[in-house]
């Protein structure tokens, strides 16, 4: 029995943590692309409409239960993966060309994307741009821009 407990403890320590910051999310929350699906072919400029159910949208800095604001990850590994994955889960989502913030509570954006394939993922962040505990993320989709 001691060995089983030790193996379980080591397994838990070795497993990647899939937890965000301290702000809880609603267990029913879901974020999704309202107008795009995986494999779509589109023309630039591309309008991306953000969908959210089970929680509400509030501007960054607004600390209100069951709310957050959108972030769009473009052409990068899924949230929590890649070089800065662990940091973005607990410390907040960076702001750069691959991490777009919609802290004003926006629910769509029109982007000029270069021709070719692009990956997109939506992430809901709390009042301080940190993913919730349990993170609310969309599937990563790939689109082709003609």
Cα distances (angstroms) measured from residue 110 to each of 16, 70, 120: 34, 14, 13
Fold of 30-145: Immunoglobulin-like (2.60.40)
pLDDT value at position 83? 85
Domain assignments of the chain as residue spans, ordered by start? 30-145
| Mean pLDDT, residues 104-129 | 97
How does pLDDT run across 42-94, given as a tens digit for each residue?
Answer: 999 999 999 999 999 999 999 999 999 999 999 999 999 988 888 888 888 99
Cα distance between residue 55 and residue 53, in whole Å: 6
Q: Is the dihedral of CA 5, 8, 13, 14 positive or negative?
A: positive
How does pLDDT run across 2-22, given as a tens digit for each residue?
Answer: 443 333 333 333 333 445 678
pLDDT value at position 96? 94
């Amino acid at each position: 029995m001691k060995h089983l407990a030790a193996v379980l403890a080591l397994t838990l320590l070795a497993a990647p943590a899939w937890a965000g910051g301290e702000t809880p999310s609603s267990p029913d929350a879901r974020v999704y692309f309202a107008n795009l699906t995986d494999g779509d072919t589109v023309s630039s400029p591309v309008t991306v409409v953000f969908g959210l159910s089970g929680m509400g949208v509030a501007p960054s800095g607004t600390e209100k239960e069951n709310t957050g604001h959108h972030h769009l990850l473009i052409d990068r590994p899924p949230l929590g993966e890649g070089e800065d994955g662990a940091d973005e889960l607990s410390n907040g989502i960076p702001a750069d060309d691959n991490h777009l913030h919609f802290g004003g509570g926006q629910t769509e954006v029109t982007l000029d994307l270069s021709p070719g394939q692009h990956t997109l993922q939506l992430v809901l962040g709390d009042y301080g741009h940190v993913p919730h505990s349990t993170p609310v993320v969309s599937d990563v989709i790939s689109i082709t821009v003609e």
